[in-house]
């Protein structure tokens, strides 16, 4: 038991506890905050595993951007503040979900532990930025480029989806019951306002457009 | 150095919690939180995976300590993969949250159990779509 | 020359049948001429063949289709031309030509009402609009004429075949043609039923012929008729007995002998010329011809000829009594055919080939075998003449009256004396009044039976003799009764009242319906003269004066009884019978009911049983899959509940199962 083991145990237990609380909390905002705790602790775990750059990216993207996004989404969907009973499914379904979760844990954990045995240790590695950078831009350059295209596509898609009904192109609203797609003429329907579209399109559009830059930073 | 069993257990716990979150939650945003936990478990597994001898979990090096052949720079590949995973996760959650917002605007709810239009039990389901719309679908 | 002529008797009608269908299209006039040309050519060929056979002897092997290699045995599909085939071929060709000519007038395209049609209209509208009801008939005439030609060709094939397989082909084609012709008026349900009945009943017998051929092939190793006849004495007893009894079944079916005779009276639903063809020349005669052809086999087999004699004795008397009670001219003639064919069969059945060979002094055994069948064949020839004449006359009467019922007839002698004279000639020949053809042939049969009985052939010959003598009496009665009802007495319908009136011109008989009658009247009257200079076939055919005298007395007694009945107070001799007996006889001993109870209803029950089994047992499995699939679909449908979470749950479950399987299996 080295000091590194102790630190790892601390971070890992914090991350595990945060994850469990994030999926069981009956308070929406608390769940999001427990997620912050879990992902932050995971950054610590990465540090202990000598992956410094990964830890940095973890903090930057997850803790910085994703969680902020989640909190924004909660606000925009008028998530209730306080303890709510209707966040979870019925008890029967929850039991099924618990069985599925435990089975997943047992399968993955059992497989890994059986494969690892008792002798192997994580070797000391080189997680520095220069090593990672040279690896990324030599052997991994093609996936990297593909990833940039993916991010662009996600950016455009997020804008297109959330922009809503201020364009000629039909959005997801039109597929709702009572939406324009149920009418005989789609061309005429796109001009008429749908009765079910409650909020003004401008409000959710602004943070949605911010998804792209934040997510790709 | 630390023992490999610790990260392995962490992966198992995170994955289990993620599956539970996806299956047990009704709120769409909370379901996404479960999905994020699953992705995080995958990231840890990536970092852990290339710390193993060449050939991964199935290689004889794991079972036979005398064989310790490793790739030239064993840890870097896994870490690059993890970074890319994180990037993909970010893109995914951005897109997914946009969909959730759209759903909320259309239905004024983000409860997944209330959105069942694609199921046969939904109120708008019909065996004969032509009879309802009065014409052929495009 | 003989061989070529024999070939042409088969090929010409068959070719013209095909041409009649292919070339004439829907034109009945062309079809009529094609059919007549084919029949005429066939008659010329048959006459040439007969001349060749009589002057220069028989031709045993005439190649037709080469030989068929059946693996274990090679079948030579040959024809033969001897006196038996040549004489029968001439009779067939004459009758076929007369029928073709007659049909042109009887089923004429310009004829407004078909007599058969008007006799028993099936639909209510038929009588109101006779023209439209018969409008489609002309378009069917090509098929009719071609079928008659094909029928002739098939009979010629049977007559000339020297191989049982060829004979079987012609035999089966005749069955198919009789089905088509009996059902010619297919718009009538009764005609369709009669056609199906004729087909099915004869089919029962045909099955016997088919099995007999197989038995002979297995036992004798050949299907060649000459080969089988030559080997008749060396064949195993079991083979011979089985084969001949099975052949007798086929003979009973085709020749309408008891108990397979029920189809023939019903076959009167066909057009009258078709009846003439079937009864006089082709189908019915084929059975007797088969026995005559294979007589050495029958003679060698134990009991086969005795069975044939019993069948013939029962049939001839029973059918004659049934004919006595009929109230329909055509049905009376049908029953008389059954009775007369039984005469032929009896004449063949009492044949004594050994005695005939001695009498003829012929070295050729085959010729002696043929000669033994002489009386039966002679009766076949005379019967062909007078029965064709009778049916064609009956067709004319039907044409005039518009009905085949005796109740609508009468007074023909006053209105159409020539027709009445021809009818009387035919009926007298049927009754066996001397010196007409029928008299000589019938007495020849009786003489043969009497000689066989006296020479120790045993009880079958006595049975035939007794039954034949009784039948002669009854035949005279029903023949004279038919004449009395049709020709004597007052005319009963408008057409027969005034021969030169308006109605008569509307029903004037076309010339094509008249002169075949005169053609047939000649052999009817004088065919007995052939005994003055008999060919070898008939060399041993004698007429014993005492037997002839007895038979003639009995016939004339019957004729006189029936003819004098009107003067004695009863216009119809049949009315003298008790009503119950008359109905019983008219219905043909109710054998149809027996047949219905014994065959049709059990068969239908079996069919229902099989149908139920098919529906409830075999089909149950496919239906069960339908039900199972439906329930599975309902169950699976509940899974598609629209809940994204549950879809993910199933995906996770699948992934877990796959992962677990991977761990366990690796």
What per-residue confidence (pLDDT) applies to C570? 65
Following CA atoms C607, C610, C616, C622 in sequence, which dihedral angle do they give, to the nearest 10 degrees?
A: -110
Nearest CA in chain A to B52: A122
**Mean of per-residue pLDDT scores for chain A:** 74
Higher pLDDT, C324 or A148: A148
* Percent of chain A's residues with pLDDT above 90: 20
Q: pLDDT of B58-109, one tens digit each?
A: 555 555 555 455 444 555 778 888 889 999 998 988 888 888 888 888 888 8
Interchain CB contact of B52 with A (< 8 Å): yes
Q: Residue C663, Cβ neighbours under 10 Å: how many?
A: 13
Q: CB contacts < 8 Å between A and C, how many?
A: 18
pLDDT at residue number C375: 80
Percent share of chain C, pLDDT over 70 = 84
Chain A residues closer than 8 Å to C649 by CB: 96-97, 100
Assign domain B1-56+75-107 to its CATH architecture. Orthogonal Bundle (1.10)
Strand-pairing partners, residue C6, are none
Nearest to C314 by CA among C352, C261, C246, C374: C261
Which of C641, C644, C657, C660 has the most A C-beta neighbours within 10 Å, making it the best mutation to test the interface with A? C660
Which residue in chain A has the smallest CA separation from C654?
Answer: A100
Nearest CA in chain A to C650: A100
Return the residue in C645, C656, C664 with the most chain A beta carbons within 10 A, the one to mutate for interface testing. Answer: C656
Give the pLDDT confidence of C86-137 residue by residue, as tens digits.
Answer: 888 888 888 888 888 888 777 764 443 444 444 443 433 333 333 333 344 4
Contact assessment for residue C157 and residue C173, using Cβ atoms and an 8 Å cutoff: yes
pLDDT > 80? residue C45 = yes
Q: What angle do CA A14, A15, A17 make, to 5 degrees?
A: 65
CB A127 to CB B75 under 8 A? yes
Q: B13 CB near a chain A CB, below 8 Å? A: yes
pLDDT at C59 over 80: no
How close, in Å, is residue A112 to chain B by CA atoms? 6
Q: Show residues of chain B in contact with A106, CB under 8 Å.
A: 12
For the entire predicted model, the pTM comes to 0.63
Which residues in chain A have their CB less than 8 angstroms from residue B54's CB?
none
* Structure-model confidence comparison of residues C541 and A199, the more confident one: C541
**Average pLDDT value over all residues in chain C:** 78
Q: What is the pLDDT, as a whole number, of residue A190?
A: 40
Average pLDDT (C144-157) is 86
Each residue's pLDDT tens digit, C383-427:
888 888 888 888 888 877 777 777 777 777 777 788 888 888 888
Two structure tokens written together for C72: 């274990």
What per-residue confidence (pLDDT) applies to A20? 93
The alpha carbon of residue C656 and the mean position of all alpha carbons in its chain are separated, in whole angstroms, by 81
The token pair that represents C112 in the structure block: 């407004």
Q: What is the pLDDT of residue C470?
A: 85
Pairing outcome for strands C59-69 and C74-81: antiparallel
What pLDDT score does A204 carry?
41
Do the Cβ atoms of B107 and A86 come within 8 Å?
A: no
Predicted-complex ipTM score: 0.79
- Contact by Cβ (8 Å): C162, C80: yes
Helices (H) and strands (E) in chain A, counts: 10, 0
Q: Which of A38, A88, A104 sits opposite B15 (nearest CB)?
A: A104
For residue C180, what pLDDT is reported?
Answer: 86
Listed residue (C350, C334, C548, C516) closest to C434, CA to CA: C548
pLDDT band at residue C288 using 50, 70 and 90 as cut-offs: confident
Better-predicted residue by pLDDT, C28 or C503? C28
DSSP C527: G
Distance CA C226, CA C243 (A): 16
**pLDDT, position C367:** 55
Residue with tokens 């597994």: B45
CB proximity B122 to A under 8 Å: no
Which residues have a Cβ under 8 Å from the Cβ of A177 and sit 6 or more positions away?
Answer: A196, B117, B124
* C255: CB partners within 8 A, 6+ apart: C284, C285, C286, C287, C288, C341, C345
List the single range of A92-101, C38-47, C112-121, C424-433 with lowest mean pLDDT: C112-121
Residue A207 has pLDDT above 60, yes or no: no
Q: Which of C15-24, C305-314, C529-538 has the highest mean pLDDT?
A: C305-314
- Contact C642/B112, CB-based, under 8 Å? no
Q: In whole angstroms, how far apart are CA C259 and each of B120, C195, C608?
A: 70, 18, 26
Domains defined along chain A, listed by start: 1-81+138-163 (1.20.120.1200)
> Is a pLDDT exceeding 80 seen at residue A196?
no
What pLDDT shows up at residue C117? 42
Chain B residue closest in CA terms to A12:
B10
pLDDT in tens, A11-67: 999 999 999 999 988 888 888 899 999 999 999 998 888 788 888 998 988 888 888
Q: In chain B, what are the domain boundaries?
A: 1-56+75-107
* Range in A157-166, C321-330, C345-354, C456-465 with the lowest mean pLDDT: C345-354
Site from C638, C640, C642 to mutate, B interface, most B CB atoms within 10 angstroms: C642
State the pLDDT at residue B11.
93
Nearest of C257, C175, C201 to residue C599 by alpha carbon: C201
Cα–Cα distance measured from residue A203 to residue A75, given in angstroms and rounded to the nearest whole number: 12
| Confidence tier at C609 by pLDDT (50, 70, 90) | very high
pLDDT over 90 for what percent of chain C? 4
Query: What is the rounded (10 degree) CA torsion for A40, A42, A46, A49?
Result: 140
Averaged pLDDT, B31-45: 91
Res B56: pLDDT:
54
Q: What is the pLDDT of residue C240?
A: 84
Sign, CA dihedral C467-C468-C473-C474, equals positive
C-alpha B104/C-alpha C163 separation (Å) is 94
Chain C residues within an 8 Å CB radius of B122: 642
Does C660 reach chain A within 8 Å, measured CB to CB? yes
Which among A98, A109, A176 has the least Cβ separation from residue B12? A109
Put simply, whether A210 touches B (Cβ < 8 Å) is: no
Q: Give the HSE-up count for residue B120: Cα atoms under 13 Å, Cβ half-sphere.
A: 10
Other chains touching A, judged by 3 or more CB pairs under 8 Å: B, C
Query: Which candidate from B10, B36, B103 shows the least CB-CB separation from A12?
Result: B10
Cα–Cα nearest to C537, from C179, C53, C28: C53
- pLDDT, mean of residues A74-86: 76
CA distance C39 to C43: 6
| Confidence at A117, pLDDT banded by 50, 70, 90 | low
Which residues in chain A touch residue C656, judged by CB atoms under 8 angstroms apart?
Answer: 100, 103-104, 107
Contacts B23 to C, Cβ<8 Å = 645, 648-649, 652
| 3-state secondary structure at position C404 | coil
The reply to whether residue A5 touches residue B23, judged by beta carbons under 8 angstroms, is no
- How far is CA B95 from each of CA A67, A130, A151, A213, C399, rounded to the nearest angstrom? 14, 31, 10, 13, 97
Q: Is A104 on the interface with C (CB under 8 A)?
A: yes
C652 touches chain A (CB under 8 A): yes
Of B58 and C56, the one with more pLDDT: C56
The pLDDT of residue C608: 92
Q: Say if the Cβ atoms of B113 and C652 lie within 8 Å.
A: no
Tokens 């059945």 sit at which residue? C349
Cβ of C653 within 8 Å of Cβ of A111? The answer is no
Contact status of C627 with chain A (Cβ, < 8 Å): no
Q: Considering only the beta carbons, identify the residue of A48, A69, A108 that sits closest to B94.
A: A69
CA–CA min distance C635, chain A (Å): 19
Most confident of B21-25, B76-80, C165-169, C427-431: B21-25
pLDDT tops 70 at residue C237: yes
Residue C373 is predicted with a pLDDT of: 74
B7, B73, B88 member nearest A126 (Cβ): B73
pLDDT above 50 (res C618):
yes
């Amino acid at each position: 038991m080295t000091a590194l083991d102790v630190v790892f145990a601390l971070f890992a237990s914090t991350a595990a506890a945060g994850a469990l609380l994030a999926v069981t909390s009956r308070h929406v905002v608390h769940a999001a905050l427990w997620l912050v705790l879990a992902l932050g602790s995971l950054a610590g775990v990465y540090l202990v595993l000598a992956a410094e750059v990964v830890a940095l990216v973890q903090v930057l993207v997850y803790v910085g951007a994703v969680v902020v996004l989640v909190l924004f989404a909660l606000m925009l969907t008028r998530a209730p503040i306080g303890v709510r009973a209707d966040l979870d499914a019925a008890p029967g379904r929850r039991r099924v979900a618990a069985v599925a979760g435990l089975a997943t844990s047992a399968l993955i954990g059992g497989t890994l532990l059986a494969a690892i045995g008792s002798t192997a240790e994580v070797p000391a590695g080189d997680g520095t930025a220069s090593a990672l950078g040279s690896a990324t831009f030599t052997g991994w350059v093609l996936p990297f480029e593909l990833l940039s295209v993916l991010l662009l596509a996600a950016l455009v898609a997020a804008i297109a989806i959330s922009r809503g009904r201020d364009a000629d192109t039909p959005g997801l609203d039109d597929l709702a019951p009572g939406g324009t797609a149920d009418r005989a003429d789609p061309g005429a329907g796109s001009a008429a306002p749908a009765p079910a579209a409650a909020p003004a399109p401008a409000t959710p559009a602004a943070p949605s457009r911010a998804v792209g830059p934040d997510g790709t930073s | 150095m630390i023992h490999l069993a610790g990260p392995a257990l962490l992966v198992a716990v995170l994955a289990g919690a993620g599956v539970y979150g996806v299956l047990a939650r009704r709120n769409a945003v909370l379901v996404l939180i479960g999905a994020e936990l699953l992705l995080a478990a995958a990231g840890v597994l990536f970092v852990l995976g290339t710390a193993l001898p060449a050939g991964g979990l199935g290689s004889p090096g794991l079972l036979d300590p005398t064989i310790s052949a490793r790739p030239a720079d064993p840890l870097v590949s896994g870490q690059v993969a993890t970074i890319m995973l994180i990037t993909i996760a970010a893109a995914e959650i951005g897109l997914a949250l946009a969909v959730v917002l759209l759903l909320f605007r259309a239905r004024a709810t983000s409860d997944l159990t209330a959105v069942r239009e694609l199921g046969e039990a939904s109120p708008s389901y019909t065996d004969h779509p032509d009879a309802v719309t009065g014409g052929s679908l495009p | 020359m003989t061989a070529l002529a024999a070939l042409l008797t088969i090929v010409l009608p068959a070719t013209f049948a095909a041409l009649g269908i292919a070339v004439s299209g829907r034109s009945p006039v062309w079809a009529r001429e094609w059919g007549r040309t084919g029949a005429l050519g066939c008659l010329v060929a048959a006459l040439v063949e007969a001349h060749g056979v009589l002057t220069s002897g028989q031709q045993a092997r005439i190649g037709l289709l080469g030989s068929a290699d059946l693996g274990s045995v090679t079948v030579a599909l040959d024809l033969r031309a001897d006196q038996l085939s040549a004489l029968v071929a001439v009779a067939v060709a004459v009758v076929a030509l007369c029928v073709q000519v007659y049909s042109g007038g009887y089923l004429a395209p310009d004829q407004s009402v078909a007599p058969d049609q008007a006799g028993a209209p099936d639909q209510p509208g038929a009588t109101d609009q006779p023209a439209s009801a018969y409008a489609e008939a002309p378009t069917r005439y090509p098929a009719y004429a071609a079928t008659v030609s094909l029928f002739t060709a098939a009979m010629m094939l049977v007559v000339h075949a020297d191989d049982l397989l060829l004979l079987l082909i012609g035999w089966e084609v005749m069955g198919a043609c009789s089905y088509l012709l009996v059902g010619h008026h297919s718009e009538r349900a009764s005609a369709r039923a009669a056609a199906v009945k004729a087909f099915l009943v004869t089919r029962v017998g045909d099955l016997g012929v088919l099995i007999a051929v197989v038995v002979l092939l297995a036992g004798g190793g050949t299907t060649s008729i000459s080969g089988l006849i030559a080997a008749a004495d060396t064949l195993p007893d079991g083979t011979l007995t089985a084969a001949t009894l099975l052949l007798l079944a086929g003979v009973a079916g085709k020749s309408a002998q008891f108990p397979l005779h029920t189809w023939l009276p019903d076959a009167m639903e066909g057009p009258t010329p078709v009846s003439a063809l079937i009864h006089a020349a082709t189908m019915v005669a084929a059975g007797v011809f088969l026995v005559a052809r294979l007589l050495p086999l029958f003679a060698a087999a134990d009991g086969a000829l005795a069975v044939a004699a019993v069948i013939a004795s029962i049939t001839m008397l029973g059918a004659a009594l049934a004919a006595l009670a009929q109230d329909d001219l055509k049905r009376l003639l049908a029953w008389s055919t059954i009775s007369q064919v039984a005469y032929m069969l009896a004449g063949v059945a009492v044949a004594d080939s050994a005695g005939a060979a001695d009498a003829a002094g012929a070295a050729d055994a085959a010729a002696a075998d043929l000669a033994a069948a002489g009386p039966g064949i002679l009766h076949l020839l005379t019967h062909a003449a007078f029965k064709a004449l009778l049916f064609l006359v009956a067709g004319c009467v039907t044409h005039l009256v518009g009905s085949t019922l005796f109740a609508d007839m009468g007074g023909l002698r006053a209105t159409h004396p020539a027709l009445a004279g021809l009818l009387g000639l035919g009926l007298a020949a049927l009754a066996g009044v001397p010196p007409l053809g029928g008299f000589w042939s019938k007495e020849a049969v009786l003489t043969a039976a009497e000689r066989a009985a006296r020479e120790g052939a045993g009880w079958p010959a006595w049975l035939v003799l007794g039954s034949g003598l009784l039948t002669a009496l009854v035949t005279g009665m029903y023949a004279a009764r038919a004449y009395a009802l049709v020709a004597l007495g007052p005319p009963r319908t408008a057409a027969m009242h005034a021969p030169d009136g308006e109605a008569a011109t509307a029903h004037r008989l076309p010339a094509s319906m008249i002169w075949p009658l005169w053609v047939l009247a000649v052999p009817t009257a004088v065919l007995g003269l052939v005994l003055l200079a008999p060919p070898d076939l008939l060399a041993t055919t004698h007429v014993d004066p005492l037997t002839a005298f007895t038979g003639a007395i009995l016939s004339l007694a019957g004729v006189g009884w029936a003819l004098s009945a009107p003067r004695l107070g009863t216009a119809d001799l049949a009315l003298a019978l008790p009503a119950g007996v008359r109905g019983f006889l008219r219905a043909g001993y109710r054998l149809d009911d027996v047949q219905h109870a014994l065959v049709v209803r059990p068969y239908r029950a079996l069919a229902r049983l099989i149908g139920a089994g098919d529906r409830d047992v075999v089909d149950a499995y496919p239906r069960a899959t339908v039900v199972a699939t439906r329930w599975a679909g309902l169950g699976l449908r509940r899974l598609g509940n629209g809940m994204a979470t549950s879809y993910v749950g199933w995906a996770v479950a699948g992934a877990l199962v796959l992962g677990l399987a991977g761990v366990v299996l690796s």
